[in-house]
Amino acid sequence: MPNSTQSLLADLIEKGLRREPPDRDELLAVLATGDEQMMEVVAAAYRLRHHYFGRRVKLNYLVNLKSGLCPEDCNYCSQRLGSQSQILKYSWLSSQTAAAAAAAGVRSGAKRVCLVASGRGPSDRDISRVADVITAIKQESPDVEICACLGLLAEGQAARLRSAGVDAYNHNLNTADDRYRSICTTHTYADRVRTVEKAQNSGMSACSGLIAGMGETDADLVDVVLGLRELDPDSVPVNFLMPFEGTPLAGTWQLTPQRCLRILAMVRFAFPDSEVRLAGGREIHLRSQQPLALYVANSIFLGDYLTSEGQPGQGDLDMIADAGFEVEGVEQETLPGHRRTELRLRHRGAGTDRAANA
Ligand code: SF4
């Protein structure tokens, strides 16, 4: 390994341990490392992953509450306006059906359920629907974390979701501001930033990440990561494009397993103490190298994605065990102490149907 790469990685580890942000050139240099330096890059990212998250892997489970038929035109999305993808299309699941889907994920070890609905953003009625789904889920799994992903939020909706028991809100920045229009014309990067800020201001934990493999340059990837850093999300999903037939990005296969690992490592150096989630596209792009990604990311989705099938849940659990990692339990905190708020909103005792803490 050239001395320059050695010292780059040593500096990134030192900065990560001090929670000091890497600079743009350092992140670009990680993406420019060669395949022959792969293991050193992964090992350096692992130093930070292990320091803040040990050998734990957090499992998240997606429930697609409403699938397809979206009026927005995100090029990467199988649910977009005019999509010819042969995906499932349905309107809102009943609370009972959604809760049953969530329970399957929780039984397999998921500690967070991500409730997702296609669309530009929720109506007030949709927020009530999500509240009903949360009530139904919590009857069976009172301790499960709830993340909502419902699109752009209007004024007041974040607070309503928070009151309904939503712990986190997902809204990805996806790609760099400068090229946002090349992947979507119906909303802007700034719209997305505003929604993440609304979620944070309401007290929800922000989950916001990116999609790689859409024709972007290294500079674009670093730009979106630096944009995400300004928002300081608690979790950062890293998606690798799933080029669905029937969407404008069909046939876009630009990623190698090594490229995916470099991107993940770059994100870890930028977010040493945030949850870095290996998200959509891991099976098709990392393929046999998926276990290596666990040395960088501390979180994955279990089972299926919104409109495509993931590898069998048991396969994920076996992969985690075989690689010597462990599934994070509900009693374990995901984030290191310095990132957690000491103020916890009460959701038990008086005014609830849960036992008091006494
Ligand atoms: S990403 Fe969301 S907003 Fe964009 S087309 Fe897909 S479902 Fe609609």
Q: Which domains does the chain have, with CATH numbers?
A: 3-324 (3.20.20.70)
pTM equals 0.93
* pLDDT at residue 350 in the model: 74
Instruction: Confirm or reject: Cβ of 72 under 6 Å from ligand 1.
Output: yes
Residue nearest to atom 2 of ligand 1 (CA): 118
| Phi/psi-derived region of residue 287, left when phi > 0, alpha when psi is between -120 and 50, beta in every other case | left
* pLDDT at residue 342 in the model: 42
Instruction: Confirm or reject: Cβ of 64 under 6 Å from ligand 1.
Output: no
**What is the position in ligand 1's atom list of the atom closest to the CA of 184?**
4
Whether the Cβ atoms of residue 219 and residue 180 lie closer than 8 Å to each other: no
Q: Is 300 helix (H, G, I), strand (E, B) or coil?
A: strand
* pLDDT at residue 178 in the model: 97
Whether the Cβ atoms of residue 151 and residue 117 lie closer than 8 Å to each other: yes
Distance from C-alpha of 25 to C-alpha of 309, rounded to nearest angstrom: 37
Distance from C-alpha of 32 to C-alpha of 26, rounded to nearest angstrom: 10
Instruction: Confirm or reject: Cβ of 165 under 6 Å from ligand 1.
Output: no
The DSSP line for 65-92 is EEBS--SS--TT-TTSTT-------B-P
| Phi/psi-derived region of residue 311, left when phi > 0, alpha when psi is between -120 and 50, beta in every other case | beta
Per-block mean pLDDT, blocks of 10 residues, the chain (358 long): 88 98 98 97 98 98 96 96 93 96 96 97 98 97 96 97 97 98 98 98 97 98 98 98 96 98 98 98 97 98 93 96 96 90 56 69
Enumerate residues 6+ apart whose C-beta is below 8 A from 163: none
Residue nearest to atom 7 of ligand 1 (CA): 118
Whether the Cβ atoms of residue 208 and residue 188 lie closer than 8 Å to each other: no
Would you list which residues are annotated within the binding site for [4Fe-4S] cluster? 70, 74, 77
Distance from C-alpha of 170 to C-alpha of 297, rounded to nearest angstrom: 17
* pLDDT at residue 1 in the model: 65
